[in-house]
Structure formats: structure tokens, C-alpha cells
Amino acid sequence: MRRIKPGLRASEFAAYATQPAKMLHLLARAPVLLALVAATLASASASPSKIKERTVYPRGGTSSSRAPADHAVTLRIALPQPSFDVLEQHLYEVSDPAHARYGAHLSLEEVEALSKPHTESVQAVDAWLASHGVPESACIRSSSNDWVRINVTVAKAEEMLDAKYYIWKHTTDGDTLVRTLSYSLPEDLHAHIDFIQPTTMFARFKGHRTTFRWHGVQESASALAPSNGTILADAASGIRVDASCNTTVTVDCLKQLYNAVGYKSSATNGNAIGITGYLEQNANIADLQQFYKDQVPAAINSSFKVVLLNGGENNQSLAAAGAEANLDTQFAYGLTFPTPGTFWSTGGSPPFKADPITTTNTNEPYADWLDFILNQEKIPQTISTSYGDDEQTVPESYAKHVCANFAKLGARGVTLTFSSGDNGVGDGNPNPKSQTCFTNDGRNTTAFIPLFPASCPYVTAVGGTIHVPEVAVFFSGGGFSNYFLRPIYQELAVQRYLDTLPKGTYKGLFNPNGRAIPDVAAQGDNFRIFVGGRAGLIGGTSASSPAFAAIVSLLNDARASRHLPSLGFLNPLLYTVGLAGLKDITVGNNPGCGTPGFNATKGWDPVTGLGTPNFGKLKEIVL
């Protein structure tokens, strides 16, 4: 049995961190001279304005008119985090099973110390805001001061940013956004601000609306009956799965398929699992009880904690039940019962208010969730999110800042799983005559479209499979980031895959040096859930992410019962010793952008990653 031992205690962090000269310099900077601060403040407000960010007219959207001057906007100002490279080093060390510090996760205070911007940046931004009549009392700051939020009107935002805001309407679903194509700042302020949003970001950060594929309502309990006792057996692993799982996926199916039958988790050892939910996605308790009666009788009358953030709702009427929220909570909590569960319902940031012009939130609710969770002393060890958007609709500066915040959670011992997407390599369309995969940079060239946040290298991206034996499901999102370089933990596995591609395959359609997606996979179709009091089948990588997260949570439960730290950022383990606990998927592909997409093959591939989990084997590896 392979034993992975925890390394240094978190209390030893200070002694460790201050030994290298680099860390000492970054964490204990000398006070900034008052004269330098004064010069910086003066130049920030007096220097000529220069464009900070610019984008192009987005495909799939039309501008109808200028935004009303009195429309409310919450501007989020991001300040640079000069010590992030130190935090990243800690992240990799505490996440590497071969390192002496493995499992020595950082505390809230330690992460905040590594997140603070330079004092001169804070002062420069404050002076700029004051010059526009925004007092300190009107600023809402993150605990480490790397974010500042202010509530202003469109007129004030246009004055501050030398910008013009328009109302943009997406032709596909009618959603509207108030955005500008460019904004400017005093030139000397550029070094003190990473970005300001919402300005040039056209991502909507919602759940995968195309994730859900209802195959028809199943009201009869007989839908769960075994297929005449037929059992499907995997010759290589010896795993036995009821044949009914080929058409209807249940909690029992996943436990059988992923070798977790018989494992009993604890309700009291400190392990927990969390699910994020966003606009209008309510997890219904009555539906959960029906699901438990249907599949997890022992869990009947149990529930989960709901945390409401920034106007989030917990509407328990059956008519308000959200398919995505129910899918995530029913399977995540059903697989891990009695592990405590949390569901965060995040609404729009104040002062957002639906009106005839802007009927949906124009702010970034995911950043609001990050603000909250990063400030919590106690966080569930495993968190699943089933949302994303085309990477190219997210400004690179924003994506990298948010991704850095995911790294902070990983450094604190939290595993983050994200759905890899439901459109294959782009639009899910193999027909070259009707594909819609074009760059959003004004050139409109054909290219594969990766998703964010799945493209962030500090999260675990989960693709999809189907059937028993498992093959890749056709809609499994996969590919290569255009923003993030391939991380070191992926280098060998991904390069092997690229070396097997025939020369010239999809040349110019993807970035061969980018962070590769997904990392792993799990079943992603035909999940039996309850929504609005009715049973049905549903699919998408929105099912795969909570399913894989649940297996990780069971592993964390096993470690907690042995008084071992949580697994935290999972990828360095998955691509090394964890490989022995994953089943390689070698059949299937993910068409899109007028192509057949990539093929699942031996080893890592951009359809199912490294494969699907074997809980029993993984448990032996991590204990």
C-alpha cells in the first residue's frame, strides 16, 4: 500500500517562507517612502489617459442603444498581487505527493499575506477614486485589498473610464448586458490596476444551459429495476455493474462503476462537500427527498446547508426548482451521505435590479462568491461548479486574476472541480458548413473554443463518459487554453498525446502549448433526478463534475478519519501516483467546429483526460 504522508504543519509556514531571499523580499517589503507615494498619487491623477483594455463587437450580440446615464453599475477594480509567484510555489509544494510539505495547507491569514497588493498601488487607486468624488466610505474591499468595488451610475463610469456604455443583446437567448468596447485610465495608473469590470467582458458566467438533455419523463419506480439481473463485468478491473446503468444512471450505478460500493462516510469527522449555484438556480428540498426515497433511502429527512450571497434566493416552490441545482445537489450529496453538504446560492451584486433594459445580472456573480469564500475560516474540502463560458469572452486579465483566486483555495486545501463543457471542441457541430467557431478578436477566423474556468490550471476540469463499459460522450468539452500555458504537471502526459497526432492535424485550430482540458472524466448522461416533483433523465458535464467531486469527497473522508489533511489541489497527484487509480477511456470523440474533434486514446486525451476514478484504488494511494 502506498502511503502519502503529510509534510510540515501550517504553523511552520513562517519559518519556511522567510528562508528564501525571494520570499523574504516579497513578504517583508520595506515601507514605501512618503515622497514616492506622493509622486505616485499625483501622477496617477495627472498623467494622460491611455486605453487599458479594448475588445471587439462580440459575435452573437447586437447593440441596440446607448446605456441610460442613470443605470447602476458595480465596478470591480482588481489590483496586482505581486507575491502570487510565492503563493503558487507554496501551492505546488503542498499539492505534490512527492514533496516534504505535501498536505501542509496554508491558513486564511497566510494566504491573505501573499495576496496583498503593494501599498503604493492601494494609495494610487484611492487617490484616483477620490479625484472622481468617490470617498473611502463608498469602497467595498476584499480582505486582502486586491479587489475594490464601487457602486456608480453609467454616467459616472463613463466619466472615470473615458468610455461609452451600450446595451448589448445576445441573439441566441435575448440576454442583455451593459458593456463598453474599451476603457482608459491615467497612464501612470496602469501598473496599479489589473483591470476594471464590467467593461469589456461579455461572458455571462451562467450554468451550462445546453448541458441538459431530457430524454423523457420516467414516473414509474420500475425504471430502476435491474435488467433481468444482467451484470456487466469489466475484465481488467473486475468491477461489476448492473446492466440497467447503461440506460439510467443512479447513485448505485456510480458506486458500482467507480468501486465505492460499501464505503461508509462519516458525518462528524470534519469533512464536507459544497456546490455553487447562481442566478435563479434553486435546489429544492422536496425534490431531494423524492430522490433520496428513490435512490438513497438512508438519507431520507436529511438535508444540506443553504448560504445566500448577494441577493441569492432559496425559493422552495416546486415551480422554482432548478434542474442544474437539483442535479448537482442530489448526486453530490446522495453519493457522499452523510457527509455535510453546503449549497451557495449567489445572486447579482447590489445595486443590480432587473428592469426593462437589463433583465439579467450585468455583474459577475462568481467573483462575488469568491469574495465570500476566500474570507471564510472553514471551507468544505471539495467544491463542484457546473458553469462556464467561452474563454475568449472573458478578458485575459480577468481570467488570470480569478484563476489566481482559485489557486488561493487550492493552497488552503480545497479541491475545485469544474465541468469541461458540453459542446465538444467548440460548438458541438461536426458540419463544416454550419459551424460557428470563430475567434472573437476581429479576425473571425475558425478556431476551437475552450471554456473558462475549466481552462484555469489550478482547478480540476471534468469531462464526460457514457455507458458501461465507458466511452467518451460526444459532447464532452476538451481542448487547449489560449490564455494559460500548459502547467508542468501536465507536460509529459499531454506531450505524449500531441506526439501521437498525425502531423498537421487541426493546425491553427488550437494552441498546442496551452493548458490542456479536461483532467479527468466521469459519467455524464442519463442521470435520473427529480425536478418539480417529477423524475427524468438529464445529462452533460454538469453531471460529471459533481459525480467526480463526490468521489474526491469520499477520499477526503477516508483521510479525515485517519487524521490526514485534505487532498486540496488535486492535479499534481492525478498526473503522477494517482494515475494508478484512474481508468483510461480510449473510445469516442468530441466533434465540433466542423470537425470530428479529438479522439479518446491511450493515456491523456482532450476528451476524457486521464480517465475515470476507481475509488478503491485511489483510497489505497492516498492513505
The residues assigned a catalytic role are 324, 328, 542
556 alpha-carbon distance from chain centroid: 19
Which three cell numbers mark 356?
426593462
Mind giving me the DSSP string for 266-318? Answer: -SSSS--EEEEE-TT-BPPHHHHHHHHHHH-GGGTT---EEEEETT-----SG
Contacts of 104 (CB under 8 A, 6+ apart): 6, 7, 8, 9, 10, 12, 13, 93, 94, 565
Provide CB contacts within 8 A for 494, sequence distance 6+: 486, 516, 604
- Residue located via cell numbers 477614486: 129
Binding annotation for Ca(2+): 584-585, 603, 605
Distance CA 584, CA 616 (A): 16
Cα distances from 160 to residues 30, 153, 238, 376, 601, in angstroms, run 32, 11, 65, 33, 52
Which residue is it, cell 450580440? 61
CA atoms within 13 A on the CB side of 616: 13
Binding residues: 584-585, 603, 605
> In Å, what is the CA distance from 510 to each residue of 182, 472, 481?
27, 20, 8
Q: How is residue 26 written as a grid cell?
A: 516579497
Does residue 135 contact residue 25 with C-beta atoms inside 8 Å? no
Alpha-carbon distance 17 to 126, whole Å?
30
Q: Strands 147-153, 140-141: parallel, antiparallel or unpaired by DSSP?
A: antiparallel
For residue 518, whether the previous peptide bond is cis, meaning omega lies within 30 degrees of 0, is yes
| Residue among 345, 341, 348 at smallest CA distance from 365 | 348
DSSP, res 249: B
